[in-house]
């Protein structure tokens, strides 16, 4: 392999949507490193294919899982008679030998095939690298959650709940199963997780409402109504202290008349203010309330949502349930004054079933949508 040169194959623009990869964009040392890593990338890609069940021969995959389970006999032998223990250990050694021999044979034939064939092109290397990274990204999302779901602020509570739940499950399981059976059960579940059979079973179980409620309670994806008081902050600060002109003619006004005049001053062009005016400091904030809807087969878009997800109106920052913007208008503290005369709605943002943003247009993949109602308020700083 070391005597071969890296060949670059250009792809016609008429046959590919993406522009061809240009090797001149890479340093020679980078190309050399990618070339040397290519066999390892192929091995890792094949390993991830077997782990994620991207295979054609399902029977061979099941044989590998059975051999892997029998290999546990070397670590945790059965507590039986001497004859059965000897047979069990022999079966474990045989399984390990078959698995190791299969892996060695595959690696050997792969290296020989690469030595006898043409050197890989840049397109082949990058395609394999993208495939490996995409599969690793899938595994990462399944273990830690997607970037949109992961929240560092909730990692401690989530970790505590997961540890507590797994501890209870572990104690219940080990009380009925021995260590050998428990190990085989764990290996089997991990091995078949990506299989069609396991995923189909999980989708059928997901149809039960109580399972979904338990899942969202553990991961705390949607805040409950009990947190409404502690997470009440429903605004963002636009300006901590803004200076606005305050004409002397307004200094005698109070109540509603003063509010109306201050609203006009904040929205007025500063260049048109009398330079001899006095000035006051005001704090400006913006209240945001999300309106949420879900799409149903018969009704279309309605405010009828699932019981374990966010409310019809929710806090834009904490997703806690909120009152409607019109009712919230009446609950504004007395020392605050609205700037706009009414709430301003944003455009609808369409999301998937888990409220992950997809875009501004409805499509077949959209099952939920939200829009944000905004309104600014201010108060005079003393």
Chain-centroid distance, C-alpha 75: 37
Cα distance between residue 315 and residue 323, in whole Å:
9
Q: What is the pTM of this model?
A: 0.54
So what's the pLDDT on residue 49?
86
So what's the pLDDT on residue 295?
93
DSSP state of 236: E
- Residue 81, sorted as left (phi over 0), alpha (psi -120 to 50) or beta, turns out to be beta
Q: Would you give the end-to-end CA distance of the chain in angstroms?
A: 78
Cα distance between residue 181 and residue 242, in whole Å:
69
So what's the pLDDT on residue 199?
86
Whether the CB-CB separation of 344 and 371 falls below 8 Å is answered with no
- How far from 190 is each of 186, 187, 312, CA to CA, in Å? 6, 5, 38
Count Cβ atoms below 10 Å from residue 318 Cβ, excluding itself.
Answer: 16
Taking CA 329 as the corner, what is the angle to CA 323 and CA 330, rounded to the nearest 5 degrees?
95
Cα distance between residue 34 and residue 190, in whole Å:
31
Spatial CA neighbour of 319 closest among 330, 311, 328: 311
So what's the pLDDT on residue 9?
39
| DSSP H helices in the chain | 28-51, 58-70, 82-116, 122-144, 155-176, 179-191, 196-206, 209-219, 255-267, 325-330
Strand partners, 287: 235, 375
So what's the pLDDT on residue 258?
60
Residue ranges of the domains in the chain? 23-144, 152-219, 225-380
Tens-level pLDDT at each residue, the chain (382 residues): 444 444 433 333 333 444 444 555 567 777 778 888 888 888 888 888 888 888 778 888 888 888 888 888 777 777 777 788 888 888 888 988 998 998 888 888 888 888 888 878 888 888 888 888 888 888 887 776 655 444 444 555 666 777 788 888 888 888 888 888 888 888 888 888 888 888 889 889 888 888 887 777 776 544 444 443 334 566 778 777 766 656 555 555 555 556 666 666 666 555 555 555 566 677 888 889 999 999 998 889 999 998 888 889 998 888 888 888 888 777 778 778 788 878 999 999 999 888 889 999 999 989 999 999 998 888 877 6
Spatial CA neighbour of 258 closest among 326, 266, 330: 266
Q: Which helix (H) or strand (E) holds 238?
A: strand 235-246
So what's the pLDDT on residue 13?
38
Cα distance between residue 335 and residue 285, in whole Å:
13
């Amino acid at each position: 392999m070391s005597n071969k040169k890296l060949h670059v194959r250009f792809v016609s623009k008429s046959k590919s949507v993406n522009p061809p990869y240009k090797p001149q964009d890479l340093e020679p040392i980078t190309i050399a490193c990618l070339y040397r890593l290519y066999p390892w990338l192929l091995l890792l890609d094949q390993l991830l294919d077997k782990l994620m069940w991207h295979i054609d021969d399902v029977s061979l995959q099941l044989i590998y899982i059975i051999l892997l389970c029998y290999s546990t006999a070397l670590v945790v032998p059965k507590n039986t008679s001497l004859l059965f223990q000897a047979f069990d250990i022999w079966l474990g050694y045989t399984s390990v030998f078959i698995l190791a021999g299969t892996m060695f044979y595959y690696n050997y034939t792969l290296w020989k095939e690469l030595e006898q064939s043409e050197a890989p092109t840049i397109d082949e290397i990058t395609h394999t690298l993208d495939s490996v990274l995409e599969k690793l990204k899938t595994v990462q999302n399944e273990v830690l959650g997607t970037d949109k779901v992961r929240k560092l602020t909730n990692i401690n509570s989530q970790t505590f709940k997961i540890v507590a739940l797994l501890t209870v499950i572990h104690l219940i399981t080990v009380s009925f199963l021995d260590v050998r059976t428990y190990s085989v059960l764990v290996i089997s579940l991990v091995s078949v997780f990506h299989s069609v059979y396991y995923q189909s079973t999980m989708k059928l179980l997901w149809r039960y409402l109580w399972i979904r409620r338990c899942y969202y309670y553990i991961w705390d994806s949607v805040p409950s109504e009990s947190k409404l008081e502690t997470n009440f902050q429903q605004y963002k600060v636009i300006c901590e202290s803004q200076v606005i002109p305050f004409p002397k003619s307004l200094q005698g006004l109070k109540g509603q008349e003063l509010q109306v005049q201050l609203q006009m001053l904040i929205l007025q062009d500063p260049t048109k203010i009398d330079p001899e005016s006095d000035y006051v400091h005001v704090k400006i904030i913006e209240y945001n309330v999300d309106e949420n809807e879900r799409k149903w087969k018969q009704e279309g878009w309605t405010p009828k949502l699932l019981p374990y997800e966010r409310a019809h109106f929710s806090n834009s920052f904490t997703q806690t349930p909120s009152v409607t913007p019109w009712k919230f208008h009446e609950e504004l503290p007395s020392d605050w004054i609205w700037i706009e005369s009414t709430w301003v709605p944003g455009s609808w943002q369409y999301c998937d079933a888990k409220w992950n943003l997809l875009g501004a247009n409805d499509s077949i993949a959209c099952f939920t949508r939200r829009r944000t109602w905004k309104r600014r308020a201010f108060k005079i700083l003393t």
